[in-house]
Chains A and B, each alone.
Chain A
Amino acid sequence: MGAKTTKAIEPPKWANRFLEWFCSADQLEILQGDLYETFQFRLAKSGPLRARLLFIKDVFDLMRPFAFKRKRSYSSNNRAMLKNYFKISYRNFLSQKIYSLINISGLAIGLACFLLIYLYVQDELSYDSMHSKADRTYRVLELFESDGVGEHSASNPFGVGPTLINDYPHLIESMVRLFNFQAPVLSLKNPENNREFNESRLFLADSTLFDVFDFEMLVGNKETALDGPNSIILTESLAYKYFGDDDPLGKQLIFQGEQPLLVNGIMADAPLNSHFQFDAMISYSTIKHFVPASWMARFYWNPNWTYITLHDNSLKAELETQLIPYKDKYFPEDKREHISLQLQPLLDIHLHSNLDYEIQANGSASNIYVFSTIALFVLFIASINFINLSTARATKRAKEVGIRKTLGSKKSQLVKQFIFESLLYTFSAMLLAILAVLLILPFFNVFTEKAITLVTLLDIQFIIAALVTMVSVGLISGIYPALVLSSFDPVKVLKGGHLKSKGFSFRKVLVTIQFAISILLIVGTIMAVKQLDLLQDNNLGFDKEQVIMVPIMRTPIGENFETIRQEMLKLKDIQYVTAVEEIVGAKNQVGMYHFEGMEVGQPFPRLSMRHDFLETFGMELISGRNYSEDFETDDEEALLINETLARQMGWTNEEAIGKYHLRSRDRRGKVVGVVKDFNYASKHQPISSLVMDLSLSPSSFRLFIKYMAIRVSGQNINESLGELERVWKDFIPDRPFQYFFLDSRLAESYKAEEKLSLLTAIFAGLAILVACLGLFGLATFTTEQRSKEIGIRKVLGIKGGQIIGLLSKDFMRLILLAILITVPATYFLVNSWLDGFAYRVSLEIMPFVIATITVLTIAFVTVAYQALRAVSINPVRILKDE
């Protein structure tokens, strides 16, 4: 090139760069030289433009096989290379056993948690999806509400199903009703062998059951099995329970002690991921023996779960608009304006439905979100560990990288090697995780009451998910260390210059995130447990201990209730006996009441009961009087209300006494007493108004009084139970005596929260364990790295305590930073979860303090352990080793 006086004319740079890109290194210099020489020649001969154009042409002309970069030459060596990767990975594993084990097991724990939760969530999402028409099947809901009080019923009056399909055949393809009297139990008996049980999962179902749902029929004809009255289809398990190994088909079972039913078919057991579980289906027409036609014609009582399948999903909107004129046509005048009918997609029921009179308690979408979040957190923490430990180990392998580079390894090869190693580790972790999942699954199933099988693991979706998880974790975890390691300058490394790994600040960020998440999980767990305690605590406003509940609805107890009660009261240890409509503290019904000062009647939450209700449940009367057997008119005229109702009407507790209510158009009754508020439904909802209605008529046992409630005193409950059963058998010999304890039943209604908090605790614990593993590994590493420094300091007279301080200072700083970051985030997240509860604990500073101290302690102990080891090492040993 000439001097700088005249600007030299150069060939186009981009063409040159393009040449450098595609041309192999051993050809490049010569070819480039030829091109430049020709360019100079042409420049002198024909000027710059032509020279440049010809240069470009020549570059493209050079795109010939001989000039290309050769990849081919490595391929013959690929297998040897892979073998070498394996060997190096294996040796590396052996030479750094602790790191490697921490690395793999941490990741395995993370992956196992992730997989388990994945399976759980998959199962929850799969509810009711086994029905081929599930996407166009809906449940009809009846909302009966005024001023925010009332019932949101999952079930409807008898007539809704038939009139709907009759009026809108162009919209609705098929319809089925399920009915069980909303009785807690119904009895079945095999007269041949006298096997008799109370069954809680029997339904009367329309013959169209199989048009809507795809339940599997094993024996018998789906089309006709439920056609005539007095037929029953049993599930396999129930058939075995009553008939053993005999063939039940064509045999008889006695329903409710009176009605013979013909076994017309055998079904497969209800799939566990169906939102209603059943043991048998009885033909709906059998209802004629139990419910008078006049009741069924009225649109009042609403115990029928009604499912409809539309011809096409697009018809949903049209049907919804039709439901308004529909309800005005059929529902009685006084209810009409408070009622609205809605369609609930079948697939939404399990996760999103929480109505009154659900067939059984559903799952909850918020649980799914909580679990998914935890799963991601655990996986995230485990991946962070993996990245941290790998980059930390990087410096140890710097020499290896240096030598590899000197021997001609390219950066891309090194990256490949490290990613390969990281994938190998991830893969081993995945295998371990799957093994762990296989081992844990049976226990997990018992705990979650699910039937997640090993077959689910063979599901293509699962395999893809597993592979994607594995590869992405491997790549994410491997790519950073791979890049850091492969960019080491071999000269520096080999000269033994001190390697200031650039990764450390990045690693600090990761450790901070890890601790932030750990703190979030600890606080979340503490709050979940506290919330559960609040829901379960004894402060319900009544005494749930020592109360025996006996399901009595639709038993022949009605005529004899008073006699039986008196007999029971004669027994030792039996204090009070009453009967009540629902399980107090779990559920209520709704009735229309018209109090003084109201224009029209309105729906109010209601419990019907008999005498001694307040005494049995230990409730407190605030003003007025209790129902009394001395006032014969109480049944017809008197009402007890709760404080909230009085407040809602604008009455003080004293003013409320004597206010009238309309029993019917021209009959008035009076409020006689106000009862202190108690949680009659559940703590999922706030206490609202309540009417406690005395109902002495024997027929009430056929319709709404569902339980006898007995308060016992003393320790010998078993003896009391024996005597109670004897009395029961004296009067109702042909029905089994079945009972449960109120407190244990109530505890079950908080089962979802209990499970959530336990699972949260377990998974959070694992996450923290994984985080500790990571910290342990990192602390070990830093200590080792600074061993010379410590050696010198020891020679100069540093004390043990100071060494601990020296080593833990860095980590403590990170944890404090994590706390600063995590507190607002945690506050927000946990608060929004708690907001979903009517009764919620308030989020105070304590859990944060506890979490902080926990994390700090764990971190300190981990680091201190390493520091102590460093303290006990003889400095001479470290320092002479050069």
Chain B
Amino acid sequence: MDLILEGIKKAFWLLVSLDPEVLGITLLSIKVSGSATLISLFIGISVGASVALTRFPGRRIVVSLINTGMALPPVVVGLFVTISLWRNGPLGFMGILYTPLAMIVAQTVIATPIVTGITLAAVQQLPAKLRLQILALGATRLQMLWILIKEAKLSLLAAVMAGFGGVISEVGASIMVGGNIKGYSRVLTTATVMETGRGNFDVAIALSIILLLLAYLINLVLTQVQQRERRR
């Protein structure tokens, strides 16, 4: 119990003293996970909406793959991204392994199926005749897609929350592709693992509390937006 209280005190102190290392780790966490979420939103919404709106042979297999991808283990992603970015790997020429960019790539791979799956479900849930109505209003295919995405915005906010939640909290892939390099590729989760391993539980708890607070604040903002939309 003392350990937890000590951790909370330490977290409070690290926060109010604006500890440069913690601040850097937190900012990098936001930068990496925020970028990965944004990229996954772009890919996931486009792919999810397209799959929801089109019929093609093997569609069920694609939907099953997307749904399976929603439970993709971060360590598996970390492994394959590492192999891909390894010096002799297919993308080794990019030379980005053990950089924040590699972490963004790995986290994008984790978040994209989540966003795709939720978008797919959200667009499929819209009334089937809504597409006809939008086209009947004179919309182009692109305008129709945009209107449908706007109609599914409440569910898409859930996709943002799930996607961000999935990547801000993952550790396996970030450690494997980022290397947890101090001041360069260390994020809240990887730092927590490291401090726990060192027996620095107070620091680990402090970092965990910051991570929880960060996840909570971002979800609070998104929930506010979502509920305001719901009430409108």
**Is chain B found bound to chain A in the same assembly?**
no
Report B's interface with A, CB cutoff 8 A: none
Report A's interface with B, CB cutoff 8 A: none
